[in-house]
Amino acid sequence: MSLVFAGACSHGPGITGRAEQADVSLRNELYANFDRLRRAIEQSNPDALVVIGAEHFANFFMDNMPAICMGMADSYTGPIEDEQWLGIDSAQIPGNEALSEQLIKSIMQDIDLAYAQEWKFDHGIMVPLHFLTPRYDLPVIPVNINCQGPPLIPLHRCYEFGRALRRACDERPERIAIIGTGGISHWPATPDSGQINEQWDRQFLDHFVNNRREQLVAYTDEQTYQDAGQGGFEIRTFVAIAGATEGSTGEIWFYAPIPIFAVGCTIATMSVE
Amino acid sequence: MSLYYVQKLLYQVNREPYIRKRFDTDFDQLIGDYDLSIDEITALREGDIGLLYIMGVNGQILMHFAAHCGLEWSTYLATLRQALVEHGPVRAGLYATVWD
């Protein structure tokens, strides 16, 4: 048994960069649940944290856009954004190249994925790490799923990636935690930023924590775009976590639309039993 | 219209400090490396965030360039909204997607 923890959280840059503009009680409750998630990860005593994020054109462009890419380096840097804009200082984040390589080789038995030995973290990974490993003392293995530049990997393949990741983790003696991080409905960095479809979010999260594969992979990009905006494509990160915890269910610890953060902020865990 | 190269330039400006420096200090030489129209060059040179959005630049790229141009978040969003009024709908890219 090597997968020791699985969870999901939001990563909107406003969570840290525009913190002072948010409703104070909601922000504090979100932060408290990020901290609860940090403690739960620490209590699982992991040797590494796999962070499944959404590509935002920080590391990859349409000249060579991987559907899924996993980092394979002993260290990473971030944030790529201006420190003041994001509210997070630049840092070097430890990785684990050897463990990455073993996971990648195993996952490749089932899923074609790219790897990268150079990676600059953007808000999609730095915001979660800011709360979950604030001392940057836990090796991180980043994963990005292309959620911005169609054509995008189908949801059922994201679920299969999660299953392959779980199998790969369970082959290892190291204790591995995984976090999926993405928005649900949101229209980030557009004139509609701040719009959130709470009903859509709650239905998706209900499917997620009950690990209803059939419903999770049935979302079409066309319908998601209409109902949940282009940011809704990031449900791929949640679907991957569902695949990694197939047969298990989870809990939503926090959900609240926070418009200045441009997303329905979410903290959730999934059982790894 | 060469949206691909507009976005590629801004992606590199956002990501690479040496490209960002060239954008700020050696713009005319830098843009020679990209296949851009006159309108695109003008929008880039003037930091016309609103028009770049209408041209189809993805917000995940544009918001960081806007920060580099000194636009505060609420000003950035207001600029995009005003651009829709002035120029009409987004012309290309993800936000102009028409699904089959």
Is the backbone of residue A250 left (phi > 0), alpha (psi -120 to 50) or beta? beta
Q: What are phi and psi of B29, to 5 degrees?
A: -70, -40
Instruction: Over range A32-43, report the average pLDDT.
Output: 98
Instruction: Over range B22-37, report the average pLDDT.
Output: 96
Beta strands in chain A (DSSP E): 3-9, 48-55, 68-71, 75-78, 91-94, 114-116, 140-146, 176-181, 250-258, 263-270
- Domains of chain A, residue spans: 3-181+245-251
- Answer yes or no: do B58 and A148 touch at CB < 8 A: yes
Alpha-carbon span A195 to A175, nearest angstrom = 39
Please give the pLDDT value at position A273.
Answer: 84
Kindly report, residue by residue over A129-173, the tens digit of the pLDDT. 999 999 999 999 999 999 999 999 999 999 999 999 999 999 999
Instruction: Over range A34-61, report the average pLDDT.
Output: 97
Is the backbone of residue A136 left (phi > 0), alpha (psi -120 to 50) or beta? left
Do the strands A48-55 and A140-146 form a parallel or antiparallel pair, or are they unpaired?
parallel
Structure tokens belonging to residue A244: 């990694």
Residue A1, pLDDT > 90, answer: no
Residue with tokens 């995940």: B60
Kindly report, residue by residue over A187-215, the tens digit of the pLDDT. 999 999 999 999 999 999 999 999 999 99
Do the strands A250-258 and A114-116 form a parallel or antiparallel pair, or are they unpaired?
unpaired
Residue A241, pLDDT > 70, answer: yes
- Answer yes or no: do B95 and A189 touch at CB < 8 A: no
Helix (H, G, I), strand (E, B) or coil at B71: coil
Percentage above 90 pLDDT, chain A:
99
- Measuring CA to CA, which residue among A214, A78, A221 is closest to residue A144? A78
Residue with tokens 């499917």: A207
- Answer yes or no: do A56 and B60 touch at CB < 8 A: yes
Residues present in chain B in total: 100
| Chain B residues close to A194, C-beta within 8 Å | 77
Kindly report, residue by residue over A211-230, the tens digit of the pLDDT. 999 999 999 999 999 999 99
For every residue of A41-83, which 3-state class applies, written as one string?
Answer: HHHCCCCEEEEEEEECCCCCCCCCCCCEEEECCCEEEECCCCH
Please give the pLDDT value at position A238.
Answer: 98
Alpha-carbon span A258 to A53, nearest angstrom = 20
Alpha-carbon span B17 to A90, nearest angstrom = 14
Alpha-carbon span A241 to A165, nearest angstrom = 9
At A33, is the pLDDT very low, low, confident or very high (cuts 50, 70, 90)? Answer: very high
Domains of chain B from N-terminus onward: 3-91 (1.10.700.10)
Give the domain A3-181+245-251 fold.
Protocatechuate 4,5-dioxygenase; Chain B (3.40.830)
Residue B100, pLDDT > 60, answer: no
Least Cα separation, residue A17 to chain B (angstroms): 10
Q: For chain B, say whether A83 makes contact (Cβ under 8 Å).
A: no
- Answer yes or no: do B61 and A85 touch at CB < 8 A: no
Please give the pLDDT value at position A185.
Answer: 97
Please give the pLDDT value at position A180.
Answer: 98
Instruction: Over range B7-18, report the average pLDDT.
Output: 96
Beta strands in chain B (DSSP E): none
Structure tokens belonging to residue A109: 């038995």
Kindly report, residue by residue over A65-107, the tens digit of the pLDDT. 999 999 999 999 999 999 999 999 999 999 999 999 999 999 9
Alpha-carbon span A196 to A59, nearest angstrom = 27
Q: If you average pLDDT over every residue of chain A, what do you get?
A: 97
Please give the pLDDT value at position B99.
Answer: 63
Q: Choose among A80, A189, A190: nearest Cβ to B15.
A: A80
- Answer yes or no: do B7 and A82 touch at CB < 8 A: no
Residue with tokens 């990860």: A41
